[in-house]
Amino acid sequence: MPDKTTFRLKFWGTRGSIPCPGPDTIKYGGNTTCFEVTCGSRRIIIDAGTGIRALGQKIMLEEGNLLDADIFLTHTHMDHIQGLPFFAPLYNPKNNIRLHAGHLKPPCDLQSLIDTFLMKAPIFPVPSSLIKQACTFDDYKCGQIFELEEGVVVRTGKLNHPNGACGYRIEFAGKAIAICTDTEHFEDDIDQNVVSLSQDADVMVYDSAYTQENYPKFKGWGHSTWQEAVKVAETANVKQTFLFHHDPSHDDTKMDAIAKEVAKIRSGVRPAVEGEEIEI
């Protein structure tokens, strides 16, 4: 068990849009978005892409499939929720898992989205009723601040993404992690919501699906570039930055090239690697 001062981030999925496992993505990973944040004895999970399945397997095999945790979703596009039905702890009625989403607009809410789309025939054969003893569903308003036990504070902020998305700032033991994915930068100004979430953060995770050269082809798709990540890191005085939401077309060779380029511009900025643990 972690001690009461442990503050750790682990990447269980680093890829965006669609899983892309295979020999060309082994180094940086092929699973879609999932983060595990450890704050003392508390566990916070952000997003439930395909990476969450492996986290669930670990909890099932090493922790008796027992879980008390908060799952905060940045948004509910498929690459961020498609692993949820395969997360083993959801099916243990002894567990206490609180699911949060702050981007949905009435009449849509998180529970009905899972009931009527994600876990409903003919899309998925297992009914959502099987997870409801372990889960509660919270539709919050983006901008809300959560004050959890053990002095954990989770701040939320609006991101620039189609259908809406929320970024997170997790504060614990005098340090901070900022997670800003999925978001598209503004070409004429820096996004102040992103700066606010990441100001003086020890770690920032930033959506860097594109490069500055290919971004114009994807303008309006809701994603940013590694060059913008550097700009945000400099503006917000971020100590360590992880490029995230790797495009499916960016294999390990391409990601290595990006890592090499960004290292020339700002130290402490590099691509996120699936399976890596970061001590804050």
Place of tokens 């997003």: 47
Q: Please give the pLDDT value at position 2.
A: 63
159/163 Cα distance (integer angstroms): 10
What is the per-residue pLDDT across 133-153, written as a single tens digit (0 to 9) for each?
999 999 999 999 999 999 999
Domain membership flag for residue 219? yes
Q: Please give the pLDDT value at position 3.
A: 75
The range of the structural domain enclosing residue 161 comes to: 7-279
Cβ neighbours of residue 79 closer than 8 Å, sequence gap 6 or more: 15, 16, 17, 18, 19, 32, 33, 49
Place of tokens 């303008």: 219
* Inter-CA distances, 17 with 20, 24, 194, 228, 259, Å: 9, 17, 21, 20, 21
222/19 Cα distance (integer angstroms): 18
Domain membership flag for residue 108? yes
The structure's pTM equals: 0.97
Domain membership flag for residue 224? yes
11/206 Cα distance (integer angstroms): 13
Omega before residue 202 within 30° of 0, cis: no
Domain membership flag for residue 243? yes
How many folded domains does the chain comprise?
Answer: 1
Q: Please give the pLDDT value at position 5.
A: 86
Omega before residue 122 within 30° of 0, cis: yes
CATH number where 31 lies? 3.60.15.10
> Closest by alpha carbon to 165, among 154, 180, 178?
180
Domain membership flag for residue 2? no
Place of tokens 């770690």: 203
The rounded average pLDDT for each run of 10 residues, N- to C-terminus, in the chain (280 residues) is 85 98 97 98 97 98 97 98 98 98 96 96 95 97 96 98 98 98 95 98 98 96 98 98 98 98 97 98
Place of tokens 């799952």: 71
Domain membership flag for residue 1? no
Q: Please give the pLDDT value at position 115.
A: 96
Domain membership flag for residue 165? yes
Asked if 205 contacts 169 with a C-beta cutoff of 8 angstroms, the reply is no
Rg (CA), the chain: 18
Domain membership flag for residue 89? yes
